[in-house]
Amino acid sequence: MSEQGKSCASFSPVKAQSASDMAKETGGQWNEFFSSVPEPAHFQESIAAVTKFISSKQADQSSRVVMVSSGGTTVPLEQLTVRFVDNFSSGTRGAASTEYFLERDYPVIFLYRAKSLQPYSRHIPSVLDLLELDETSAGVNVKSADVARTRLILEKYMKNKSSYLMITYETLGDYLWLLKGIAQALDCMGPRAMLYLAAAVSDFYVPIHDMPEHKMQSDRKPVIEFSLVPKMLLPLANIWAPNAFIVSFKLETDEDLLLPKALQALEKYQHDIVVANLLTTRKKWVTLVERTGKVTKLVNSTEDRDIEELIVNTVVDKHTEYIIGRPTAQESL
């Protein structure tokens, strides 16, 4: 990679004033959200690890860093949580994309839902089924039919394991606290930072003051009132990391809504790309929508390849164009 790398705040703003004004105006909603969901227990340690990881990459002026978010979010229904609302996401998109970003030399901050899929190990769903007893040595071996495939995965893992940092979350609140902290830490990378938001994030939550402290009892119908989660893309793209390249994902089940919703999000939040996908076909095709309005359908033609390879390679090329096209503050004077 060869492009100019700049430190914090040396890039001129290219976002529409309206989006950044709107982000400032809605700041109150965000403050209210963060005061109504507790900071995750490991927050300070996680952000310290992220800052250290970014600093170790920042010195190389051509290095880029991507944060990949992955997996679903839980929405607790009680303060001492026994029950929560969850969603379908397995974390395939994020874990697979991380592998392809590593192949393109991107260090990755992998922000993933605890127990969802992880890079490389996702290829080995059951370790026990992979192994057999070796009676001669009284040890264990990988079954001969699986040796070549397992070795390939292990080689890739060994090569790349120091280039990605794993940070976990469980609840919607944990995810948004960490997203904000990581985005703010990445801001120092200017346009060399990318946020790739593949996690399936709940639109609804129960503020702590609307939640019972103890387990809900089963002697009466529960009454649960959800609040709307403020749209995090607005402060993300306009306040927390205004110079970063931001790729969001839009999930729908009704195809008629897919493109209008993606275009609406880009217009409103002024970020860079929306990857629009449908629940049932998300592994076969996606539609990539750019801020210019350009629409590209990416289709996975073979069953044995991951569509994420196609998505990541396309997004990396767009990121290169973004970095090259980004005027520095001095150039725009």
When asked if residue 92 is in the footprint of ligand 9Z3 (CB under 6 A), the reply is yes
| Candidate residues 36, 56, 63, 90; the one interacting with ligand 9Z3 per rule CB under 6 A | 90
φ and ψ at 94, to 5 degrees? -70, -45
- Minimum distance from CB of 314 to ligand 9Z3 (Å)? 14
**Considering beta carbons, is residue 276 or 323 the nearer one to ligand 9Z3?**
276
| Candidate residues 20, 46, 74, 89; the one interacting with ligand 9Z3 per rule CB under 6 A | 89
Identify residues 234-293 at the interface with ligand 9Z3 (CB under 6 A). 248-251, 277, 282
- Minimum distance from CB of 144 to ligand 9Z3 (Å)? 31
**Considering beta carbons, is residue 111 or 188 the nearer one to ligand 9Z3?**
111
Q: Which of 304, 242, 231, 239 is nearest to 272 (CA)?
A: 242
Beta bridge partners of 246: 195
φ and ψ at 267, to 5 degrees? -65, -40
Identify residues 196-235 at the interface with ligand 9Z3 (CB under 6 A). 197-198, 200-201, 233
| Whole-angstrom Cα Rg for the chain | 21
Could you say which DSSP state residue 9 is in? T
φ and ψ at 231, to 5 degrees? -70, 110
Contact 241, 183 (CB under 8 A): yes
**Considering beta carbons, is residue 93 or 326 the nearer one to ligand 9Z3?**
93
3-state secondary structure of 317: helix
- Minimum distance from CB of 262 to ligand 9Z3 (Å)? 9
- Minimum distance from CB of 253 to ligand 9Z3 (Å)? 11
Contact 181, 47 (CB under 8 A): yes
| Candidate residues 5, 40, 76, 91; the one interacting with ligand 9Z3 per rule CB under 6 A | 91
Cα–Cα distance, 277 to 258 (Å, whole number) = 7
Q: Kindly indicate which of the ranges 89-97, 119-127, 169-177, 205-213 contains the residues binding ligand 9Z3, using the contact rule CB under 6 A.
A: 89-97
Please give the span between the terminal C-alpha atoms of the chain, in angstroms, as a whole number: 27
Q: Which residues bind ligand 9Z3 (CB under 6 A)?
A: 89-93, 197-198, 200-201, 233, 248-251, 277, 282
